[in-house]
Chains A and B, each alone.
Chain A
């Protein structure tokens, strides 16, 4: 049997876990954006044959915001649209506010080359972000505290943009290429690109960082290195201390430490800081301490980072310090409040030493930048440098006598005079790292006057400087900057903006100067030139001066230009370096290519995913008190009559002729309309899920188009896999006599009738209508999904509620459709057997929906929660303790009707209480296709199938012979295996197997 799966694909999925005999779990790590793991209910055999797309779609669903516990797939699962058929997902109904929470250049629909700011000071272009590269988080702007923070990326999508993009340039020279509906953060809130105007302020942050590259899995520190370090420290193994330290580090997953360990970036930052304002000490050669000194706000960051390693920090200490330094000017006394973190942890201290850091007084120790850092990827190098600079490098500040120009950045270091060469070497290591990141610095120089007569030895002072020339400074500020120092970080971002602004103004002035001179050479009158080119930043005096000055020099900034201090104060937003920048130009550019979407920082939501609930299809099982003995001789007659009286197939017109008002009544009352209009019995209502009517249906949410499409279809079967089937119970096919009896099954050879159909074109049109409506809604709420067919809206939004209410209309129409059809069936039997259908015992056993979203209460982790449970090709299977069930089913559990193919037969099962814990009370709906329709038509001929089945005693009438071929039994999975799977899982118990003897198809 051919199938479209790549055999063994699922077993090739890394980390797929077998939870139990028939339950498999795909962890959240399988795909970026998964909120919950995915679970598949299947035997190993079924699992191996599942299509790749099932996994793809199931894990996409797991990315939807608000999803609870697991994204589930039943054993009959196969590929669908957006959601796999056989899929179940539950979402929280409580309202969640959707807050985009993004930065000014938040990512919605951007050009593939747009750089996205990520965790640990890295970036990737949108295009590169798409491929799976690990769990790195993305930066965003927290609107409340105005800090740059990081969070997970939830979803990503790319789509074709075939028309144009908006190219937005700001005053500081930043450029963004985005789609018209991409929102930027302005002083008045988020505004779409197409609505932005020149001179509007948008929020920016200057820091770009270093391009992310995958680190290697090279070992940095392993058990042996720790042992060697301990040896060198002279620590013996007294009290098993060596083993203890190693076990501690292993427990925290720090050993072995590799270049790609998640702890490495944090350790690098801490190491850089320690080389600046920290120290490692060992007391009495036994206990290790790590000290960090700095401002409280920065130590808070350090504390948080150390705690990310799994090591707790109890508090940040504060004390008054007195310092006495002998400088060339004399002895300087000062006191200040010093904040510090002092962590007692021999393991951590040893780890840092193993990483290459010195311990004890740094001025007395010889050390270099550890070799493994010198070889690391640039972004890791940068983390080390930046925190070292946060402690040791001066902050960007402008000169006292020229407030438009920055001082060079300085790094001073003191060292014992005896270690002068080492100091030079170390500083040159730092310079080398810097130059690899594109920043030039000057050779270390001895600084006279910074010598310190100390207790142990005389120290000397050395200094390196980073030149403040514009491009070098920008490289430093934008790619390296500072870590663990908020103040410096903020200044760095603002300084970069200021420098860029200055640069663009100087360029502007240079341009004006050049043009003025050209025109002057062409004998244009100076006054005229001045009039033509005069701008605020290049005034008349400047132009005249340009003309008369014989050389073309680079103009200086006008004294009217704003100072850095004033600029920072005016435009800064918050304390993390965000600032407002004016839009200089907005252009529309031709574009034909991909644009990218990313969803970040979503709070809990609740959703209806449209594609999950479109078709409102279901099954109904009708019993009779007849046996095959009575029915077989009249089978052909019955099937022919049903084929005549129950319209099916393309273009079939329903036998219930209604007008719009009645249709609307059906939409809101479902089966009740039928029973009130002689299309059913009152007791039928108890035997239908939701009593044949879902509350909350609102006819105004249904389009005229949907009504037009559905109004003539009440009382039609549809086609495809929909059918009406007459079934019997073969010997040995009752698995639980007691429950079977309670459900109305009396024994072998009993004849039953199963109807499989739904809301027809009506439900599908509603689905299509809302699928289209949800696309703008998703943009409105900042939602992106991995598959266009997963279009959705928050449950509690207007769009979401409208859809739910429209869906309820469709569901009610489906219940009514099945009701009128069984009415016809009762009539047909009554005619042929010349008896009232009541006397024939033609009660409904049950009617279930299997493509629907229901609001239900379920327990998650012991707590009751209201959920929107989506069942796409999955049937509800509540257990006996659910209050929703009518009294009779409180003894048995809810009946579950599982439709198989014409050849394999169907099942009647019941739900269990266990089902709630496992699958939100859901189970399979049928056996699921394995062969495509085109394949099936190639392999089977409808007419032949009909003949073959007739010889087996199965009589079929079908509107479409090709359609019949497509429904051949071998095109479906083995239903027995599917039903057994859920039985084994304890979710639904099989009660009776049903064998077809007659069938009517569209």
Chain B
């Protein structure tokens, strides 16, 4: 008996493999079982600033967390209106970043790039309007920053990189003074 795989099957196999490849790549972000969003959701409710315990062996909320960065996050939910994030930036190394549940970082601001130490960030969905003094006047727009979120649920993550192990306590204290909650006008 001749053992010969007909060319037809090879072509068919390659086309099929290509289709399976494309479907797998596109489906994976939705099927990823332990996404960062799901991991953080176990730490507490939405629209509240929560400190992530410092990474240590056997105790890490997310894999490959920086051991020399302290983190606080707010899982925002815009279903009942915009969410306001207020923080006093204690160090120019600080970074504030907004994420979709799939981990896309759609907004970020670095402490060193800000004019003032106090950041007042309003996260709003595309169909939510924020009426606030300063929002319509670009010259004073550093008072309140309105960020249009492409998603109604997401994550705001504050990173406080440490300049040395002795800075950890100070960074943790500064992170505890940040806040996140439902937006009320000029609150």
Q: Do A and B come from one complex?
A: no
Interface of B with A (CB < 8 Å)? Answer: none
A: which residues have CB within 8 A of B? none
